[in-house]
């Protein structure tokens, strides 16, 4: 079983890459850090810690996370962003290691892939054999964010500045999937990687 980290930047097509991996290698197990974070935010201890950091506005009525408010605060305040990441990242890594251990004991798995948006920013080490990056140009990221999410240019720039540049992530990667073209081009790259590396 290969143990792999997968990352990219916002709007690079990482979710599409995961979808392609699932289709091309049904025996792969994907750990989704975003889903893990969403589950953590529902825990009472994590909720209490978030309120301590951000205030009651971190949550809406009914204990639902106020994502838009948190996003605005995080991108406006780098110190707060670091504090929140220091709270959440170790918990995500712990859940990832638990999932990896369960998967390794189960057998029949070709690869365990942790899909972690801030893989390099957070120094997310879980004993992986290699790190994969889905990359596009900065211009494409900006265009996709504006079209997909409706963010204004200032918000887009704030989001991108909070992440390492894709060019830096490419240098940290063992494998880069370039996703500027149509989906079939990305699929061909993923297929070639699976066939050559861990089947």
Give 106-132 pLDDT, tens digit per residue.
989 999 999 999 999 888 999 999 999
**Residue 199 confidence (pLDDT) above 70:** no
With contact defined as beta carbons under 8 Å apart, do 173 and 131 qualify? yes
| pLDDT recorded at residue 198 | 59
| Phi, psi of 9, rounded to the nearest 5 degrees | -130, 170
Strand ranges, E, within 40-121: 111-115
Place of tokens 């859940």: 95
CATH number of the domain within which 123 lies: 3.40.50.300
The band of 149, judged by pLDDT with boundaries at 50, 70 and 90, is: confident
Q: Which residues contact 87 (CB under 8 A, 6 or more apart)?
A: 46, 49, 50, 53
For 90-112, the pLDDT digits (tens) are 999 999 999 999 999 998 999 99
**Residue 71 confidence (pLDDT) above 90:** no
DSSP element (H, E) containing 178: strand 175-178
Nearest-angstrom CA–CA distance, 81 and 87:
10
Of the listed ranges 38-52, 62-76, 142-156, the least confidently predicted one is 62-76
Closest residue by Cα to residue 70 from 86, 85, 59: 59
Q: Which residues contact 26 (CB under 8 A, 6 or more apart)?
A: none
Q: Is the Cα dihedral 150, 6, 31, 60 positive or negative? A: negative
Q: Is 198 helix (H, G, I), strand (E, B) or coil?
A: coil
Q: Could you tell me the residue range of the domain that residue 79 belongs to?
A: 2-197
Strand ranges, E, within 59-121: 111-115
The domain tally of the chain equals 1
DSSP element (H, E) containing 191: helix 183-197
């Amino acid at each position: 079983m290969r143990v792999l980290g997968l990352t990219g930047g916002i709007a690079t097509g990482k979710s599409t890459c995961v979808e392609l991996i699932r289709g091309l290698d049904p025996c792969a197990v994907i750990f989704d850090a975003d889903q893990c974070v969403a589950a953590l935010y529902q825990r009472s201890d994590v909720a209490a810690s978030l309120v301590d950091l951000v205030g009651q506005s971190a949550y809406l009525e009914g204990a639902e996370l106020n994502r838009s408010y948190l996003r605005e605060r995080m991108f406006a305040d780098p110190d707060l962003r670091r504090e929140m990441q220091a709270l959440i990242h170790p918990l995500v890594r712990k859940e990832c290691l638990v999932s990896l251990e369960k998967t390794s004991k189960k057998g029949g798995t070709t690869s365990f892939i942790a899909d972690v948006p801030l893989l390099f920013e957070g120094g997310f080490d879980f004993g992986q054999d290699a790190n994969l990056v889905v990359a596009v140009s900065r211009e494409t990221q900006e265009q996709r964010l504006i079209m997909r999410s409706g963010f204004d240019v200032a918000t887009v720039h704030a989001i991108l500045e909070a992440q390492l540049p894709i060019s830096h992530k490419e240098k940290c990667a063992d494998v880069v999937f370039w996703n500027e073209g149509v989906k079939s081009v990305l699929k061909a790259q993923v297929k070639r990687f699976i066939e050559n590396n861990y089947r």
